[in-house]
Structure 1
Amino acid sequence: MGFIRIVPPGGPARTLALAQLTNSVGDGAYYVCSVLYFSRVVGLGPTHIGAALTLGWALGAVAGVPLGHLADRRGPRGIAILMSVATGLAVGSFLFVRSYPAFLVAVCAYTCCQCGLGAARQALLAGLVEPARRTETRAYLQSTVNAGLALGAALGGIALRLDTEGAYLTALAADGASFLVAALVLSRLRPPTGAAATAGQGGPGMGQGGPSLTVLRDRPYALVSLLNMIMLLYMPLLSVVLPLWIVERTEAPSWTVSALLVVNTVGVVLFQVRMAARVRDLPSASRALRHAGLVLLAACACFALSATGTTAWTAALLLLAAACVQVLGEMLLGSGSWEIGFALAPPDKQGQYQGFYGAGTAVARLIGPLLLTTLILSGGTLGWLLLGALFLTAGLAMGPAVRWASGRGAAGAAPGVVIEEPRKLRRPTP
């Protein structure tokens, strides 16, 4: 039953999942090895690496919108293949970087291509999958990505164990090759039909005389994207904040960090699709975001309690319980967020809208580590509670924001945009 819930049905959804699985395995190895490669092999200091990544993700957040718009104009399938190849080449360039200026250029190319690939893939999903199945398909893809990252991280762990230049080079080369293989997989997909196919060819709302980047003038969608970005600040918790919290503020053993990552990965792989089945339309998506805010507040309170554990086992058990609560909130957030991001975008402008919506991920990666480490490591329990209150506030505000956006007709689309008729959504087949 778990296998059925992880693997999507045959057709475009399964091909998209295979492409995501392919490059997520490479990404898992990259995430584990890249920082040590940049420091030990390339010879860069932590400050230089951090500054380059900050600049890169900032540029990526900006580049996602025009690259998504390009997918609308030229077709998401071709742009997704192009961005996948470009990302693979950008990763490959790390193998030859031996100076900081070259590293800076390579990082910016990598992050921009990654954000463009994300926007194009989302537009491709919207063009190939019927609206009632998009959130379900996105949940399958998320489960696939987590499984691939876990496998890639295990492979990257071998490189860390060997701790040689050759091992690090092999891990990065595998990541670059994985994007090239993913491009081949994407080439098996047929081009989308309907609104996605007519964009840029005189189609609805995208004629030569129409506005180009409508999303930049869409205030309701911008508000929804901002609230989503705030809730995405949970992302640096497991990778950055909690390792420091465990070492500095709790009695838990260091292996607890790995245990929390396993809980998160296994939870998403096994239960994300089932969680997404609860979201069928905008009202249920808003409700999922509201519940996500409540659950993430509870998770923050549980993480704060871990500092009160007087023994290693007590602290570890509190942290594991908090991780279970946190992954529930993460899955609720993903399920509601995907439905909102797709449903509020005009059908012929999914690329630019997904690029804008997806910028929240890049921004969370950009500001999250510094913001959350400062808030939590300095504030302790109060910092955790303030973060939880922030999640709750954003979750509660999402409902009114979604009603504002949906009341303007597909996120305040410009005159002349053809809006899809309301549709009856059905639950995915178990």
Structure 2
Amino acid sequence: MSFVVVIVTLVLNSMHFLPASQYLIAETDRLALLAFKNKISDPLGALSSWNESSHCSNWTGITCSRRHPSRVAVLELTSMSLRGPISPYIGNLSFLQDLAMSLNHFTGEITQELGRLFRLQVLRLEDNTLTVKIPKNITLCKNLQVIELGGNKLVGGIPTELGSLSKLQRLALWRNPLGGTIPVSLSNLSALHSLILRSNHLHGYIPSELGQLSRLKHFQVADNDLSGTIPTQLFNISSISAIAVTSNELHESIPNNIGITLPNLETFIIGMNKFSGTLPTSISNLSRLSALDVSSNQFTGPVPPNLGLSFVNLEKNNLGGAEVDDLSFFDSLANCSHMEKLSITYNNLSGKLPGSIANLSITLTELYMGENNIFGDIPTGIENLVSLNGLGMESNLLNGSIPVSIGKLPNLIRRYNSAKPWQLWQTE
């Protein structure tokens, strides 16, 4: 075999028998990835397989397209402690569909070259240290279904151009210093099921036009500077399972028919606002509701019965005072087998402490009733609440002695104070 034949054979082997044109295209992806690697540090050696001696289809975090096996379809580098900027060469991966680099230490801007990835469906860059603005030309990626940019340091506002992404199903921009208002254009995202904008610096009103999002399931705008009301139109989206608007300046009352219009509601977190009026009794009809937090508002009137939920936080309102016995709702909680936390602290609830608290779920871990007008003895049956680790009854009108049975609660470590903030909206 001649020297020339040997060289040709070696070249063909290194090309994996691809035609020359396909080899050059595949080489574009490999070179783009190597250029990306050269700009970052890899303290854990997660990308040690990215080298000149193997095809990039064998590299860590790389999945090639089934229809085009020489092209990179998925770049999955989640939680690898990678540090540095995102190279603009990433824009050369023209067959890329899924870009996931969450939980790293990427810095700088979200490169403008992402706008060249016309096949991109999933963009996940949350929990990094990315700065500057969200690039507007990201909307050139018309196939995007998921945008996850939460937990960064992105500034500016939410680009109105995002409203053009007709296939977008999830938009998550949580915990950034994003300012401005919620763009009305987001109401054009007819496929959207999750809008997660919590923990930013957004101000202004919640656009009523968002009521057009007929597939919306998760609506989270907690911990912003929003004012006005929750638009009535949102309460008519029957698919909604979670509403979280905690820590804003929202006001007005909750619709009386919420238990009818939102049959799929599982989480309703509206604490630390300025809501008023009474708590609708129709809340009791929400069979899927597991978490209710209306704390630190201005609600009045009775506590609805049958709040058989896992988490109930009613503290720091003006509930009670209108009935002879404001605590009768305790009787309806006896059949709630999954309750874990209940707080009614800092209200105007009056009445004799009912013996039915001994019938609460054995899964209950926190029970806070301080700062009310509750009188009577503490039922000895409280010893049944074997999972209880937090109990608050301070500043009431209780009499008698503290039952010895409280000493039988094996997990009790806190005997006063209100509940810790239950920021359940952070779980989604």
Question: Is TM-score (shorter-chain normalized) higher than 0.5?
Answer: no
Could you say which structure has the greater relative contact order, defined with CA pairs below 8 angstroms and 6 or more residues apart?
1
Structure with the bigger percentage of helix: 1
What's the TM-score bracket when you normalise by the shorter of the two chains?
under 0.3
TM-score computed with the length of structure 2 as normaliser: 0.19
TM-score computed with the length of structure 1 as normaliser: 0.19
Structure with the bigger percentage of strand: 2
Larger C-alpha radius of gyration, 1 or 2?
A: 2
